[in-house]
Chains A and B, each alone.
Chain A
Amino acid sequence: MHTTVCEFLLDIIQNSLEADSSVIIVEVNQVGRNFEVTVGDDGCGMDEQQLKSAQDPFYSQAGKHDHRKAGLGIPFLMQTAELTGGECSVKSEKGKGTSVKFVLPLDHVDTPPIGDLPGTFLASLSYPGDYEMVIRRHIETEDRKDSYQLVRSQLKEALGEIETSGALAMLRDYLISQEETAETQMNDGDNYEKEARHGKNDPRRTEGITRTEEERIK
């Protein structure tokens, strides 16, 4: 069983990465007493039978880990949501993608601690492959209201690459600074999307993350 919420989050993000997604949108919101996460992708998706099997701890998708006879990520998450009175839902469409949403009440005795979010984002963003990932973080509690956004292609451009130890160390420091300081960057994120539609960002993508793609993933 995972000991922090971040471990569940990383597990779900890895599912999206292993589903050959080209775009993954992650929203991590802390609103009042609830921790809400949504991970949406445009990967291979699942049909109805596969979606049902994904909730079986003794099922692992063929070709993913052929030497294993267990797939525990989603079952662990669903069990924790049930134990804590939270929510968990998985929606998927074969050939189009998958969306996983979970909400855990932070004040429930069985809810694990949040864990290391910057470390989780580091592991997610540095996973090898050619994909775009957008992580949106929003905190709204009695004492704090912050938001920031991380876009993988922007970070790769700023660092040159994100696979050597030097680049990853700088990225880690950057991610820690985002979580610790009260910088609101959602406005910058909106500008990124506008610029992306005019092809001003990652040359690999002519449109960047557009609202249309977000809707498609959801």
Chain B
Amino acid sequence: MTLEELRALREQKKKELSKRDVSDKQMQIVIGMGTCGIAAGAKDTLNTFLSELDKAEISDAVVTQTGCMGLCYVEPTAEVRVPGMPNVIYGNVTPEVVKNIINEHLLNGKMVNEHVYDRPAADIIDNGGE
């Protein structure tokens, strides 16, 4: 692929996106990519988020990285911010868990309780953020 082909692909995707009703409130996913995260497989986590978001036809989620979040013992970690839901840091985010997060949290508004390691308060976790 050349840079010109990349530009053309982007224009094509923009046209497809403009035809869909897209909310202006963005989802955000922040992946921990410190030394601990890298060693635990955070790159695979990032790649799986991109693949699964593509399959779910979510193209406007902001996906960024940060350094160590202090949860080295449960890397890879990912903070998920979805409008209308509490911000959540998930731990042990393997590629399989990524699929659960997208299906449950992003698409169905339910937290993946067994992987929540920080935020929110316990009572919100118990009722799944609903």
Binding site for B on A (CB under 8 A): 1-3, 6-7, 10-11, 14, 18, 64-65, 67-68, 71-73, 76, 116, 119-120, 122-123, 126-128, 154-155, 158-160, 163-174, 177-178, 183
User: Cβ of A18 and Cβ of B67 under 8 Å apart?
Assistant: yes
B47: chain A residues within 8 A (beta carbon): 116, 119, 122, 172
27 contacts between A and B (CB under 8 A): A1-B39, A7-B43, A10-B43, A14-B33, A14-B67, A64-B67, A72-B35, A76-B35, A116-B43, A123-B65, A128-B64, A154-B3, A155-B6, A158-B6, A159-B7, A163-B63, A163-B64, A164-B61, A165-B60, A165-B62, A165-B63, A169-B51, A169-B59, A170-B13, A174-B1, A178-B1, A183-B2
Query: What 9 A-B pairs come out closest when comparing CB atoms?
Result: A166-B59, A177-B1, A165-B53, A165-B61, A158-B7, A158-B6, A169-B54, A67-B70, A169-B50
User: Cβ of A123 and Cβ of B61 under 8 Å apart?
Assistant: no
A126: chain B residues within 8 A (beta carbon): 63-65
Residue B122 at the A interface, CB < 8 A?
Answer: no
Residue count of chain B within 8 Å CB distance of chain A: 37
What is the CA–CA distance of A120 and B49 in the complex, to the nearest angstrom? 15
Q: Besides A7-B39, A171-B6, 19 other CB < 8 A contacts?
A: A6-B43, A11-B38, A65-B67, A67-B70, A72-B35, A116-B43, A122-B46, A123-B43, A123-B65, A155-B6, A158-B3, A164-B63, A165-B53, A165-B54, A165-B60, A166-B17, A167-B10, A169-B59, A174-B1
